[in-house]
């Protein structure tokens, strides 16, 4: 299975540096694995792409929205280490994928890198079409379209895509949920510790009492811009950065001191563990929910989603779409949807509160 990911290029400087990186002779066998589409010279690609962009702006008017304007897209297409293809074939796959993906309407440079343990393509294509001068709009479904094209072309060369089943989707979701559990657990402990610390020094002393490891200082002893946290009693591999735990910046080091000053009375180190255990018993210890869906309740399904019809109000009917990753197939043909208390923040994003009410009405 090939893997694709994309990076948006939002400045002329970034475009220049990205193009220089991908055509590096040391990575592309002295540039023998570099080619371009609708370009006179790959070494002049930056100038030609920017010329197309400026011509479109002059003809159609300025469509730039400032710093968020996308100049180009950088796609990375990786092949599995056991793929039985040559480096030239890897390059061909990338070219075919891009011609189909862009319909040949955008300038691009493709470079196949051979400096790692697996073959992979770097492709940079102009966000402005050199054919109709329109901007390429990267939408929510675009990554899925690219992924499908990449797999379809790779299949022509004998690279089989991984077939998704309900259970494999559920396992992928379980992996994601485990990561979410780490974050939720860290936040629960941090919230309690922040509310029970009188100063940053007090906070640091109390962290190990709740099996939390915090990394706050550089090797030179200066305070870092971002702290990281790791659970010592969970199989957490990578530490979580404070900025990723809250969009509001609740856990940023620069904001902690103000929160400590609000605490008039805090628990001592001896009282801390018992206090947290009480909070866990009273607040966090909520039961899991399991919902069984029978086949007749499914109105339709596609590769990724299951659709369920439901009644609401008086003589009203609607339909909900739930991703298959949330289900586990049962031996009797039914589907089981499992919810945990630690999922609540995720489910609210997915509007799961509405769905749980709907699904629970089913006998």
Residue 104 phi, psi (nearest 5)? 70, 15
Q: What's the confidence (pLDDT) of residue 303?
A: 65
Both tokens assigned to 257: 């001191």
Query: What is the overall mean pLDDT for the chain?
Result: 82
Q: What's the confidence (pLDDT) of residue 356?
A: 35
Point out which residues pair with 231 in neighbouring strands: 212
CA 112 to chain centre: 25
In the sheet that 289-293 helps form, which strands lie side by side, from edge to edge? 289-293, 335-339, 327-329
Residue 340 pLDDT class (50, 70, 90 cuts): low
To the question of domain 3-155 being in CATH 3.40.50.300, the answer is no
Q: What's the confidence (pLDDT) of residue 350?
A: 36
* Rg value, the chain, Cα: 26
Mention every residue, 6+ apart, whose C-beta is less than 8 A from residue 196.
206, 263, 266, 267, 272, 275
Mention every residue, 6+ apart, whose C-beta is less than 8 A from residue 258.
none
CA 204 to chain centre: 31
* Per-domain boundaries in the chain: 3-155, 166-284, 289-360
Instruction: State the Cα–Cα distance between residues 43 and 28, nearest whole angstrom.
Output: 14
pLDDT (mean) for 171-196: 76
Q: What's the confidence (pLDDT) of residue 358?
A: 36
Do residues 339 and 356 make contact, with C-beta atoms less than 8 angstroms apart? yes
pLDDT (mean) for 148-162: 88
Which one of 21, 147, 157, 226 is the catalytic residue? 21
| pLDDT higher at 311 or 183 | 183
Clarify whether 170 is annotated catalytic.
no
**Share above pLDDT 70 across residues of the chain, in percent, rounded to a whole number:** 77
Instruction: State the Cα–Cα distance between residues 325 and 171, nearest whole angstrom.
Output: 8
Q: What's the confidence (pLDDT) of residue 299?
A: 76
pTM: 0.50
Residue 229 pLDDT class (50, 70, 90 cuts): very high
| pLDDT higher at 179 or 30 | 30
Q: What's the confidence (pLDDT) of residue 160?
A: 83
pLDDT (mean) for 88-102: 97
Residue 344 pLDDT class (50, 70, 90 cuts): very low
Residue 144 pLDDT class (50, 70, 90 cuts): confident
Q: Give the residue from 134, 260, 140 showing the smallest Cα distance to 190.
A: 260
Q: Give the residue from 101, 89, 103, 107 showing the smallest Cα distance to 33.
A: 89
Q: What's the confidence (pLDDT) of residue 353?
A: 33
């Amino acid at each position: 299975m090939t893997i694709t990911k994309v990076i948006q290029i939002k400045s002329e400087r970034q475009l220049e540096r990205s193009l220089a990186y991908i055509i590096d002779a040391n990575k592309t066998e002295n540039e023998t694995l570099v080619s371009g589409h609708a370009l006179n010279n790959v070494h002049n690609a930056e100038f030609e792409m920017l010329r197309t962009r400026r011509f479109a702006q002059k003809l159609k008017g300025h469509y730039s929205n400032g710093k968020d304007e996308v100049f180009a897209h950088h796609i990375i297409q990786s092949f599995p280490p056991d793929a039985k293809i040559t480096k030239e074939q890897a390059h061909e796959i990338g070219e075919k994928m891009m011609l189909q993906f862009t319909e040949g309407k955008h300038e691009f440079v493709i470079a196949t890198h051979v400096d790692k343990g697996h073959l992979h393509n770097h492709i940079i294509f102009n966000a402005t079409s050199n054919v109709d001068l329109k901007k390429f709009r990267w939408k929510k479904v675009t990554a899925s379209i690219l992924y499908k094209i990449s797999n379809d072309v790779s299949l022509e060369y004998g690279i089989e895509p991984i077939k998704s089943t309900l259970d494999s989707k559920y396992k992928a979701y379980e992996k994601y949920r485990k990561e979410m559990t780490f974050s939720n657990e860290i936040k629960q402990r941090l919230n309690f510790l922040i509310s029970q610390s009188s100063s940053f020094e007090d906070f640091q002393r109390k962290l190990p009492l709740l099996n939390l490891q915090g990394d706050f200082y550089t090797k030179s002893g200066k305070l870092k811009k971002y702290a990281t946290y790791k659970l010592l009693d969970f199989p957490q591999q990578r530490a979580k950065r404070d900025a990723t735990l809250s969009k509001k910046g609740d856990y940023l080091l620069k904001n902690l001191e103000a929160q400590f000053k609000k605490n008039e009375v805090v628990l001592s180190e001896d009282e801390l563990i018992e206090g947290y255990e009480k909070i866990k018993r009273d607040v966090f210890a909520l039961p899991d929910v399991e919902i069984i869906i029978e086949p007749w309740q499914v109105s339709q399904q596609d590769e990724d989603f299951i659709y369920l019809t439901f009644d609401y109000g008086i003589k009203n009917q609607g339909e909900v779409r739930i991703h298959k990753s949330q289900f586990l197939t049962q031996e009797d043909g039914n589907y089981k949807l499992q919810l945990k208390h630690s999922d609540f923040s995720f489910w609210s994003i997915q509007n799961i509160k509405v769905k749980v009410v709907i699904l629970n009405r089913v006998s």
